[in-house]
Amino acid sequence: MQTLGQFIIEKQADFAFAKGELSRLLRDIGIAAKIVSREVNKAGLMNIYGETGDVNVQGERQKGLDVFANEHFISALSSGGECCAVASEEVNELIIIPGGEKAKYVVCIDPLDGSANIDVNVGVGTIFSIYRRLDLSVPVGVADVLQQGICQVAAGYVVYGSSTMLVYTTGKGVNGFTLDPSIGEFCLSHPGMRIPASGSIYSINEGNYVHFPDGVKRFIKFAQQENFSSGRPFTSRYIGSMVADVHRNLILGGIYLYPSTSAYPDGKLRLLYECNPMAMIIEQAGGKASDGFRRILEIQPTAIHQRCPVFCGSAELVEKAELLMHWHSPEYNPVSPDGLRLKLNQQAV
């Protein structure tokens, strides 16, 4: 069976600027993922459950594994020599890698997504995004990570669940690798991953229903009705870890929604660490990713920790959600009421 390292080397020529640096950077991420996977699997025994007492830049209480994952990914990215800077969800400022002045890549990373699930032994993950540095002739800076998602050269995630799986893309499709603990290698298990065009799963925290935009409320009502294709309502599945929820929907078909709320008018998930990399993966697998009104990958970031609403998954379902968001938000609606009503009726929304 083909290992991650073998696959990366084989596909290196697919990348326009291939000289080996990106391949080595991806392997560094894979090594760090193995270390974090090992600790996740024995967290209770190692006494790294629970909160550290610190609060990260997002205002969230840090868990022991949050800190562990952040330290090990930054260490791996620093020692490899291919990364000049790291933007981490857990750190306020851009981390400049000492000695990395000539490195070509910057990495944005959420070291441990869904960490609220750690103490109850539910799936968590890592999300990463890789960009080429804008200009090697000037020192690396914040501008190097504040690039649109369409500029990503690679994106991926690691899901730590019943097995550990790494899924990534370099813009040439999506491939998944499962960690074989007997040999300590990620092996190709899901080549050429494609998300179904539609599905019957919706993933959203319905506890916030009263705070959702009207378009999201209408989509939920649609999902709870008898579906025109299956004859039964959608299934609600929400884990509380973006990695786990999106991974399931990528395989089975469905939609993941984390919209704006009255408490978080700009959304809660981070554009650089979560929305952009997941949007690239979903689009490369044949799906769609939107903030409800526009393509996520075309949003221009203005801050490292910028938040963004997200609707991603099967293309047909994301399009339905977008239509409803436009319908209930006239100020954003580029379609005439009659034309939009026709689209909605045609799609049985």
CATH of the domain at 254: 3.40.190.80
151 lies in the same domain as 228 = no
Residue 268 annotated in ligand binding? yes
148 lies in the same domain as 74 = yes
Work out the average pLDDT over 50-62. Answer: 53
Measured CA distances, 218 to 86, 104, 211, 224, 261 (Å): 39, 45, 13, 10, 15
Alpha helix (H) ranges present in the chain?
A: 4-10, 21-41, 43-46, 64-80, 214-224, 242-252, 276-284, 315-327, 337-346
How many structural domains compose the chain? Answer: 2
195 part of a folded domain: no
Specify the 3-state DSSP secondary structure of 157. strand
Whether 46 and 35 have beta carbons less than 8 Å apart is answered as no
76 lies in the same domain as 218 = no
CA distance 285 to 287: 6
Whether the model clears a pTM of 0.85, i.e. scores above it, the answer is yes
178 lies in the same domain as 222 = no
Of 140, 159, 161, 2, nearest in space to 82 by CA: 140
In this structure, what DSSP letter does residue 3 have? B
Supply the DSSP string of 298-322, one letter for each residue.
Answer: G----STT-B--EEEESHHHHHHHH
Of 155, 190, 225, which closes a domain? Answer: 190
177 lies in the same domain as 221 = no
Of 190, 224, 250, which closes a domain? Answer: 190
Residue 337 clears pLDDT 50, i.e. is over it: no
> What percent of the chain clears pLDDT 90, i.e. is strictly above it?
69
Residue 52 clears pLDDT 50, i.e. is over it: no
68 lies in the same domain as 173 = yes
DSSP bridge pairs for 295 = 290
- Lowest-confidence segment of 49-53, 245-249, 325-329 by average pLDDT: 49-53
Whether 77 and 85 have beta carbons less than 8 Å apart is answered as no
Q: How many CB atoms lie within 10 A of CB 34?
A: 18
pLDDT tens digit sequence for 163-202? 999 999 999 999 999 999 999 999 999 999 999 999 999 9
Of 190, 217, 241, which closes a domain? Answer: 190
Structure tokens at 110: 């959420």
167 lies in the same domain as 209 = no
250 lies in the same domain as 136 = no
Residue 135 clears pLDDT 50, i.e. is over it: yes
Whether 128 and 141 have beta carbons less than 8 Å apart is answered as no
Whether 33 and 181 have beta carbons less than 8 Å apart is answered as no
Residue 28 annotated in ligand binding? no
18 lies in the same domain as 166 = yes
Of 258, 252, 246, 250, nearest in space to 207 by CA: 258
Q: How many CB atoms lie within 10 A of CB 112?
A: 29
Which residues have CB under 8 Å from 5's CB, separation 6+?
27, 30, 185
Residue 82 annotated in ligand binding? no
147 part of a folded domain: yes
Measured CA distances, 149 to 93, 195, 275, 301 (Å): 20, 20, 9, 9
Q: Which domain holds residue 230?
A: 201-346
pLDDT tens digit sequence for 211-227? 999 999 999 999 998 66
Structure tokens at 241: 């870890």
Whether 4 and 177 have beta carbons less than 8 Å apart is answered as yes
In the chain, what is the greatest distance between 2 CA atoms, to the nearest angstrom? 61
Residue 113 annotated in ligand binding? yes
133 lies in the same domain as 257 = no
174 part of a folded domain: yes
Residue 143 clears pLDDT 70, i.e. is over it: yes
- Position 31 scores a pLDDT of 93
142 part of a folded domain: yes
CATH of the domain at 67: 3.30.540.10
Residue 89 annotated in ligand binding? yes
210 part of a folded domain: yes
- Position 349 scores a pLDDT of 45
196 part of a folded domain: no
186 lies in the same domain as 297 = no
26 lies in the same domain as 154 = yes
Of 133, 127, 68, 124, nearest in space to 94 by CA: 133
Mean pLDDT, rounded, of the chain: 87
